[in-house]
Amino acid sequence: MLRLCSLLVLLALMPSAGAAAALEGHARVIDGDTLEIEGVRVRLFGIDAPERNQTCGERDLLWSCGEWATERLELLLGGGQVRCTGAERDRYGRLLATCEVDGQDVGARMVRSGAALAYRRYSMRYVGEEGRAQAEGTGVWSGPMQRPEDYRHSPPAPPPPGECAIKGNVSKNGRIYHLPGQADYDRTVISGPEERWFCSAREAESAGFRPARR
């Protein structure tokens, strides 16, 4: 009976064509522009944050801007009640919504703090906030940065020939290498300038990478 009631609530929250849906509750952050409330994935409308494994900065001064953007969203939500309103879904089934915490627009605060960009392809709503963050060199604007949309469309680096299948990844946790068969191997993408393929664990460790824990 409890499961049936929960299903009915979720169905009531899901929008029909053209109808606005409102979600409210505690949110789980997925990345810098995606969260989940009561099992419903929400994509913050009008902003585009760096991907979780994306790095920013110059070759010798790279930092994990994708992880930072995720942490920034978690900080802004603060574990409190989040209210999201939207009427459409994207191709992944996520509700496209504007979300508020304590009456403040979460998307606007993410862009203003330099943790996300105005997603001009879909909305010009946050262009002003982006302009101010860029002028002040805040967040991702503190140095060289690839726009998240361009980063997503960049082809992953192909593996070298032979048996060089060890993935060296750079994230907030440091420089880590993943062996085939490990838990995070398949979802690890070699893309940043400091990330590379290795032929042996010894080679990876000589380059300053440590083994993944799982």
43 carries an active-site annotation: yes
Where in 75-204 does DSSP place strands (E)? 81-89, 95-101, 104-105, 117-118, 166-171, 174-178, 196-198
Of 51, 100, 129, 130, which one is the catalytic site residue?
51
Of 83, 89, 94, 112, which one is the catalytic site residue?
94
136 carries an active-site annotation: no
Rg (CA), the chain: 19
Of 43, 72, 125, 196, which one is the catalytic site residue?
43
**Length of the chain as a residue count:** 214
67 carries an active-site annotation: no
3-state helix, strand, coil in the chain (%, to 5): 30, 30, 45
Question: Which alpha helices (H) appear in the chain, and where do they start and end?
Answer: 2-13, 65-77, 106-112, 127-136, 148-153, 201-206
| Positions marked catalytic | 43, 51, 94
